[in-house]
Amino acid sequence: MGIALGADASLTGFSMAKYVSTVNGKEYVIEIIDSRRVTVNGKAYEVDFESISGQPVYSLLLDGGSYQADVYPGDEDTLQVLMRGVLYEAYVEDEREKRLSKAAGGAAQTGEFVLRAPMPGLVVKLPVAEGDAVETAQVLVILESMKMQNELKSPRDGKVGRVQVKVGDSVEQRQILLTVE
């Protein structure tokens, strides 16, 4: 689901705003009706989306379901969202900006994907090597943080570029782990 507004955002203060969120290559049109109601691709949801203790960790209550998401700024205008052990790369722009970009001949996101550690942790498994072909959702790195193992997956098909870590390395938040070309 593409409800990522920003690393410091909550739904408070937004009303009748429309955004286009591209998550791992798939677009979602998000309309914020008020602080507790949104639509995603035309479907209405009751939400509660709040930062936990001012950290980049968010509580999302969505139609009675409870989710936790770690949201960190990525490269350029992207966000990296870790939810249920899956790392999503999200790009958010308001609908008007999106229309203007298309009218100006804006290009689709391409090029190198940089996988950064979404949190401090320990590299416990590295199932890929430089030059390996990878597919969308293939596990690239398993990072242990706070006694939980998180599978960091490829957002797209490609080839592993430079691997900058090895098993046993301690990494800091936002440290580059590897690239996918």
Residue ranges covered by each domain of the chain = 17-103, 113-180
- The architecture of the domain spanning 17-103 is 2-Layer Sandwich (3.30)
Give the pLDDT confidence score for residue 147 in this predicted structure: 78
Tell me whether the CATH fold assigned to 17-103 matches the one assigned to 113-180. Answer: no
Closest CA to 4 of 96, 69, 99: 69
Fold designation for 113-180: OB fold (Dihydrolipoamide Acetyltransferase, E2P) (2.40.50)
Helix (H) or strand (E) holding 103: helix 95-103
pLDDT in tens, 59-82: 888 878 888 888 887 766 688 888
Please answer whether residues 69 and 83 qualify as being in contact, where contact means their C-beta atoms are separated by less than 8 angstroms. yes
Amino acid in the structure at residue 146: M
**Beta carbons within 10 angstroms of residue 85's beta carbon:** 14
pLDDT in tens, 126-159: 999 999 999 988 899 998 887 788 888 888 889 9
